Each structure stands twice: as structure tokens, then as C-alpha cells.
Amino acid sequence: MTEIKKHSRFQTVIDPAAVDRVKQLVLVSQEIVITCHVSPDGDALGSSTALCMVLKSLGKKAHVVTADCPPKTLYFLPGLRDIVVATRQADRAHDLMKSADLIFCLDYNDPKRVDRLSDALLSSKARKVMIDHHLDPCIDVTVGISHPEISSTSALLYIFFWQAGWTRYINRSSAACIYTGMMTDTGNFSYNSNDPDLYLIIHDLLRKGIDKDNLYKLVMNTASESRLRIMGYGQYRMQLLPQHKAAVIMLSEEELKEFDYSKGDTEGLVNTPLAMPEIMYSVFLRKDADCVKVSMRSKETFPVNKICEEHFNGGGHINAAGGEFHGPLSEALQLLLEVIPTYDKYL
């Protein structure tokens, strides 16, 4: 009884009319595709695979389609084996998008964020449902559930399941996926994690049988030799701009090659300079095959999303944002050093 009372606060988090509409759409759809953002992280994959499993428990045909590969650290996620990755199975990914009558957009708010799948998404006749926690959605959907105040799409998805009366379809595997998303988007509940309701969700997931300590070990405390060495090297080579309270870490293609870099190896590197009390924000520039990937993190009210929006074709949250630069790494650094002083007003 008390449990139901405690959870009753979930009842109106999402507009109940939107929850009903999504339930109706699911019930009348036969071929459901779930998409998430490119370079999928724990929240994108956790929410997508959890939704896929729940939809299958409801008797639906559902597939997760991603633009590119998941990081190796998340290979253990239940359901990950079944996802369709467009870089590996382009035809199948496009066929699924084309024949879908319902497409979920999870953990992104802009069609550009599905990268090579964005044309397929935009041209699809399927009805679309967005469930997301990024600011300022700009995506044309049938139903949009946008809650930037919630720290992960996975937590928002759990609340959706609760409001829909679908928590009984969550099993230990889908619970583990939801927990992984909640954990990764809050740095194992070390930021954006003061909402007491998060812990009601964790309570429920533990009751579903998840081993949260083991999930922590698998996601946050398991690393390859190349990751450990690259993380150390990146921090060793970090540049500080004390007058702007900024730190910059940069890795060139040659350096990545030398360290036998594979995707995911630098996850979290951008956060490390924030351990210094005098540093307000941190920038990581990594030369990828097609662009320089830009990642930024900050403390308090320093808006790194503004820098990414205004100069690096990107966006994100106030304290965690990203974008890209098309050109050599040296030019990305040059631009960064030019723009950094113009943000001193936010320090």
C-alpha cells in the first residue's frame, strides 16, 4: 500500500493523455523500430533495448536500429546482440525503417542525431514517438515526451512504463538495461541525481532482480589495456588555461593509433579535469575519421552547450555538451582558443 502511495507521484510526470496516445499507437502497430542517437551510450542503448524487450513481452515485433556500433563496454547488455547496426547491416537497417509503422526516437531530439539514418527517419511514413530528456526538441513526431528535468531517458522510460501500467512486463534483463542508462547518465548517481524519485525507480529495479553492484563493475569499472593507457596519457597531456578556468585534452589520429584506440576507450576522459576545484569546464577534442569530435563538461551554471551550439555544430545540456569540427585538429584547437575568452562572462 505505502509503495503505491509513494509511486503515485509518477502518475502525472508525463501528460497522461500522451501516455494513453503512445499505448494506443503501440497496440495498433505491427512493425516497431526503436532508434537512438549516433555513438550510442548507456542511456541510449539501455532505454532502447529495455523498450524493445517490453514491446516484445507485449507480443509486438520490435527492433532496435542504431546508426553505428555500441561501445565494447556495453556488449554485455541483455538484448544488445539483436540490435541492427547500420554500419554493419545497411540494407536491413533501411528495410526495417521503411517497413515500420511506428518509430520510437529515444534519447535524442533532433533528426540529425541519428546520423546516416536521418533520411530514412525523415522520409518514413511511420508514426513517431519521441521519449527524451534533451533541451529544445526539434523533431516532428506524433507524440513527443520531452522531460529535460529527468536525468536519463531510461528513468523517463521507466516512469512511462509505470504510468502505462506496463511495469509488469519489465523483467530482470530489461530492468538491467534501464538501470544501466540511469547509472551512466548520472556518473553512477554522482550528478543530476538528487531527485528522490530516482531511488524509487532503483528500488523497483532491484525488486526485479538486478545486481546493481555487478552492473557498476561491468559498466564503470571494466577496461581494456588501451583504455587505461589512453586515459592516463590524455590526462598527462592535458593543457590548462587557468585564466579562463578551462582545461583542454586533445588526441590526434596518430596518438589514437599508437594506443590501439577503439571506440569507447576515451569515454569519461573529458570529465577528469573537473576534479580540480579551480577548473570550471573541460574540453576534449578527438580526431575521428570524418571530423574532430568535440566533448565538453562543466560545473555549476557554465553553459558548455552554448559553446558547442555557437561554434561546433552541436549542442547538449548546460554541463555536458558536444559537437563536431570539420577540418584538421590544429584548426579545431585554434578556434577553441579564440572562442574561450569570449565565454569568460559566464565564469
Which of 295, 298, 302, 340 is in the footprint of ligand 5GP by CB under 6 A? Answer: 295
Rounded to whole angstroms, what are the CA distances from 158 to 8, 189, 287? Answer: 14, 17, 36
Nearer to Mn ion among residue 96 and residue 150 (C-beta): 150
Rounded to whole angstroms, what are the CA distances from 280 to 27, 81, 100, 238, 240? Answer: 48, 39, 45, 15, 11
Rounded to whole angstroms, what are the CA distances from 327 to 107, 172, 182, 309, 331? Answer: 28, 45, 35, 17, 7
Whole-angstrom distance, CA of residue 262 vs CA of residue 44: 19
Residue whose C-alpha is closest to residue 279's, from 329, 340, 342: 340
Question: Which option in Mn ion, ligand 5GP, none does residue 321 bind, with CB closer than 5 to 8 A by kind?
Answer: ligand 5GP
CB of 31: closest distance to ligand 5GP in angstroms? 28
Q: Angle 196-207/172-184 helices, nearest 10 degrees? A: 150
Nearer to Mn ion among residue 251 and residue 308 (C-beta): 308
Question: Which option in ligand 5GP, Mn ion, none does residue 111 bind, with CB closer than 5 to 8 A by kind?
Answer: none
CB of 33: closest distance to ligand 5GP in angstroms? 21
Question: Which option in ligand 5GP, Mn ion, none does residue 322 bind, with CB closer than 5 to 8 A by kind?
Answer: ligand 5GP
- Grid coordinates in use for 28? 495498433
Which of 32, 84, 321, 332 is in the footprint of ligand 5GP by CB under 6 A? Answer: 321
CB of 272: closest distance to ligand 5GP in angstroms? 13
Written as one letter, the residue type at 226 is: S
How many other CB atoms are found less than 10 A from the CB of residue 125?
A: 8
Residue whose C-alpha is closest to residue 104's, from 62, 136, 138, 74: 62
Single out the segment in contact with ligand 5GP by CB under 6 A; choices: 15-23, 88-96, 225-233, 316-324.
316-324
CB of 243: closest distance to Mn ion in angstroms? 33
Q: Which residues bind Mn ion (CB under 5 A)?
A: 43, 107, 153, 185
Q: Is 68 in the site for ligand 5GP (CB under 6 A)?
A: no
Q: Is 111 in the site for ligand 5GP (CB under 6 A)?
A: no
Nearer to ligand 5GP among residue 255 and residue 324 (C-beta): 324
Q: Is 324 in the site for ligand 5GP (CB under 6 A)?
A: yes
Q: Is 316 in the site for ligand 5GP (CB under 6 A)?
A: yes
- What residues are paired with 106 via a beta bridge? 36, 131
Which of 322, 325, 336, 340 is in the footprint of ligand 5GP by CB under 6 A? Answer: 322
Question: Which option in Mn ion, ligand 5GP, none does residue 46 bind, with CB closer than 5 to 8 A by kind?
Answer: none
Instruction: For residue 122, give the H/E element and its range.
Output: helix 118-123
Give Cα 340 distance to the centre of its chain: 26
Q: Is 314 in the site for ligand 5GP (CB under 6 A)?
A: yes
- Grid coordinates in use for 36? 537512438
Question: Which option in Mn ion, ligand 5GP, none does residue 63 bind, with CB closer than 5 to 8 A by kind?
Answer: none
Question: Which option in Mn ion, ligand 5GP, none does residue 320 bind, with CB closer than 5 to 8 A by kind?
Answer: ligand 5GP
Burial (0-12, 13-18, 19+ Cβ within 10 Å), 86: buried
Binding residues (CB under 6 A) for ligand 5GP: these are 110, 134, 295, 314-317, 320-324
